[in-house]
Chain A
Amino acid sequence: MAETFQNLMLGFSVALQPSILVYAVVGCLIGTLVGMMPGLGPLAGISLLLPATFGLNPIVAIVLLAGVYYGAMYGGSTTSILMRIPGEAASVMTCIDGYAMTQNGRGGPALAIAAIGSFVAGTAGVVGLMLLAPTLADWALRFGPPEYTALLLIGLFILAYMSGGSMLKTLAMAALGLMLGMIGIDVMTGYTRFSLGIVELGDGVGIVPVAVGLFGVSEILLTAGAVAAPEVQRPRLRDLVPSGEEFRRSAGPVARGSLLGFMIGIIPGSAHIISSFVSYGIERRISKHPERFGNGAIEGVAGPESANNAAATGAFVPMMALGIPTSPVTAVMIAAIMVHGILPGPMLIQTQPELFWGFVASMYVGNVVLLILNLPMVGVFVNILRIPYGYLYPCILCFCIVGTYSVSNSLVDVWILLIMGAIGYALRKFGYDLAPVALGLVLAPMLELSLRQSLTMSAGDYGIFLERPIATTMLGLGVVLLLFALKPLVFKSKDWRSEVGLEKQ
């Protein structure tokens, strides 16, 4: 412990040097701006900035990139809350209640809680990274295909808690999303499935154009033609600060979201995307008033936003402790230090203490900087709502198009965006929830691959899921979740869901 403290002091002595501090601030600023572009998320942001870091020393480079990463994670929530446009997959759940809060005139508090939740989760994540990195990294490696399958199944069962509407419609939407996820080349055999002869679809349908289309474009299509144009909001200063009640409601979700996000974030692979979905599902399930979700519940912003940020920090654990890039984002970070001749690997913490501890300390600093930057910015951002909708929506549409195009410089993505906008519009007219589609799309390829990998490992024996403690425990948890979800179907009258479900229809 004393040693950790000493190391941390070393780290702060690095991170608090004025030159490095400046880079942390610049990184957070650029990241926030990039994250606010619909479609441009953390990965795009740091990939775009990577070349600029080659001339810097490795500590500065990684501090700058970490700042961009954080900033972009947070910036994505701004557009989600104010315009219902998810900047990246992790913000999908923030759109639902965050935008509902904006419509209720509580956009300011939603942004503030998102910033505070991100700060708490980010800081908690760094503490976890600092104290537990080597231990947790070994644990993370024990996540093989069977464990992954079990985790993703839990993600799937969480669906049942995600929406208050008809259970059948939720399941149908999940199936639709999973089906979209089947498009592309099958990793196990090399078959190209459902690609309609379009080469770009061989890579599958990206989550960004689908999420921006389903949520952002469909909202514009529904609103722009409405008989009465939405009223221009003139937020007053006291409407920007969350009320005591809102703080109280957010505390639990932030704490749970941080823990959950961090645990999921450590796991190698892209599972961290599901952390915000799982957090939303859990908050909805344990809430005494689940009917408030979807209509502007602050818990629905606080939980997923915290989970999402904690997961982002958790992803650094295997990167720092093992030197393995477990996600595209950490891979770019590793590339940034590799260019300077520092070889990432299990020995990184020992051989480059000032890099690791400087990084850890700068993450603390980055979180504080982000909070200081963003709380006053809330007042600036909500002014977007003052723009008359007639001017606002054409600009949002253009932003969606350029953002989606920028992700992989592909017009196919823009077409997907527009088609998904149309589909989202029609589905919402018919009373379908769209979040399960996004979750299904994220889960499908990972779930299919890990299930088939597990069966390859065991030569077709499903017993493999019962022989491995972590997988078995998680599957058990999943079954419990599933039974809870089925309960209201069996005992219909006794549950809130029946009331809410009928009301929704």
Chain B
Amino acid sequence: MTSEPSSIERKRGGLKSDQLSGLMLLALALYVGWENRAYPVGTLQEPGPGYMPLILVVFLGATGLLIALWGAKSAPLASMNWTEAARAVVILVACGVATFALERIGYRLTVIALLIFFLGVIERKRPLPVALVAAGFSFASFYIVGDLLHVPLPRSPWGF
């Protein structure tokens, strides 16, 4: 019982990727189904606001379950390659921070900061091109979208 599982067994055991994703979908369906209880389902003749969501919950739950059940042949979760995941999370968090800042410090400052972070910190480009791209992109895009197309892009509290 305590013997080390062989490499083949390790491959066969453990959660498979489709099993995980299928179960996640099932969980989502159950959550939506729980939320949906607030809305009247109505009848077949007169469907209420909860009618179509209920059908979709059942459908998504069923497909999720089937994906999980038939997922035994799919690639094991452990074999999935997540090399780019760390970078992806950093990019998303940076964009999230930028979104949060957009209406606080204005469009131009936010974009300059975001581009300096991406180009200078993540991609480690040389400072001069970074500064040129960041400032150039920020002002050029503000001019096109904000001034020419009259989109009210957010400005900083200092009117900039």
Please tell me the number of chain B residues within 8 Å of chain A, measured between CB atoms. Answer: 68
CB distance from A40 to the nearest CB of B (A): 8
- Contact A390–B91 (Cβ < 8 Å): no
Q: Does A260 contact B (CB under 8 A)?
A: no
- Contact B151–A182 (Cβ < 8 Å): no
Name the contact of A397 in the complex, choosing from B32, B49, B73, B95 (C-beta under 8 A).
Answer: B95
Please tell me the number of chain A residues within 8 Å of chain B, measured between CB atoms. Answer: 65
Q: Does B123 contact A (CB under 8 A)?
A: yes
Contacts of B84 on A, CB cut-off 8 Å? 221-227
- Contact B114–A398 (Cβ < 8 Å): yes
CB distance from A206 to the nearest CB of B (A): 16
**A223 and B137 alpha carbons, distance in the complex (Å):** 22
- Contact A451–B80 (Cβ < 8 Å): no
- Contact A221–B107 (Cβ < 8 Å): no
Q: Does B106 contact A (CB under 8 A)?
A: no
Q: Does B60 contact A (CB under 8 A)?
A: yes
- Contact A169–B67 (Cβ < 8 Å): yes
- A179-B32, A390-B125, A418-B92 given; A406·B86 CB < 8 A: no
- Contact B49–A48 (Cβ < 8 Å): no
- Contact A178–B45 (Cβ < 8 Å): no
* CB nearest to B35 among chain A residues: A194
In the complex, per-residue mask of B68-112: 1 if CB is within 8 Å of any chain A CB, else 0 = 001001100000101111111001100110110011000100010
Name the contact of B63 in the complex, choosing from A168, A224, A399 (C-beta under 8 A).
Answer: A168
- A48-B149, A422-B92, A452-B47 given; A193·B53 CB < 8 A: yes
Q: Does A414 contact B (CB under 8 A)?
A: yes
Interface segment out of the listed A104-112, A140-148, A232-240, A423-431: A423-431
- Contact B88–A182 (Cβ < 8 Å): no
Contacts of A397 on B, CB cut-off 8 Å? 91, 95, 114, 118
* CB nearest to A502 among chain B residues: B73
* CB nearest to B94 among chain A residues: A397
**A187 and B99 alpha carbons, distance in the complex (Å):** 31
**A195 and B96 alpha carbons, distance in the complex (Å):** 21
**A393 and B152 alpha carbons, distance in the complex (Å):** 25
**A411 and B104 alpha carbons, distance in the complex (Å):** 12
- Contact B17–A394 (Cβ < 8 Å): no
Name the contact of A193 in the complex, choosing from B39, B46, B63 (C-beta under 8 A).
Answer: B39
Contacts of A390 on B, CB cut-off 8 Å? 119, 123, 125
Name the contact of A37 in the complex, choosing from B35, B39, B145 (C-beta under 8 A).
Answer: B145
CB distance from A332 to the nearest CB of B (A): 14
- 8 Å CB contacts to B: which residues of A182-227? 182, 186, 188-189, 191, 193-194, 220-227
CB distance from B26 to the nearest CB of A (A): 10
In the complex, per-residue mask of B9-36: 1 if CB is within 8 Å of any chain A CB, else 0 = 0000000011011100100100010011
Q: Does A391 contact B (CB under 8 A)?
A: yes
* CB nearest to A223 among chain B residues: B84
Of the candidates A51, A398, A455, the one having the most CB atoms from chain B within 10 angstroms of its own CB is A398
Name the contact of B52 in the complex, choosing from A172, A182, A225, A429 (C-beta under 8 A).
Answer: A182
- A168-B67, A431-B17 given; A399·B102 CB < 8 A: no
- Contact A455–B63 (Cβ < 8 Å): no
- Contact B18–A455 (Cβ < 8 Å): no
**A418 and B83 alpha carbons, distance in the complex (Å):** 20
List 29 contacting pairs A-B, 8 Å CB cutoff, sorted by A: A48-B150, A171-B63, A172-B63, A175-B59, A186-B39, A193-B36, A193-B39, A193-B49, A194-B32, A224-B84, A225-B87, A225-B91, A390-B125, A391-B119, A391-B133, A393-B118, A394-B114, A394-B115, A394-B123, A395-B137, A398-B115, A399-B141, A401-B98, A402-B153, A405-B151, A421-B95, A425-B88, A427-B21, A430-B21
Q: Given A169-B67, A394-B115, A431-B17, 20 other A-B contacts at CB below 8 A?
A: A40-B145, A48-B149, A48-B150, A51-B150, A172-B60, A172-B63, A175-B56, A182-B52, A189-B48, A193-B39, A194-B35, A226-B83, A227-B83, A390-B123, A399-B141, A421-B95, A452-B47, A455-B46, A455-B47, A460-B44
Closest 5 CB pairs of A and B: A225-B87, A460-B45, A225-B84, A394-B118, A221-B88
Residues of chain A at the chain B interface (Cβ within 8 Å): 33-34, 37, 40, 48, 51, 166, 168-169, 171-172, 175-176, 178-179, 182, 186, 188-189, 191, 193-194, 220-227, 390-391, 393-395, 397-399, 401-402, 405-406, 409, 411, 414-415, 418, 421-422, 425, 427, 429-432, 444, 448, 451-452, 455-456, 459-461, 505
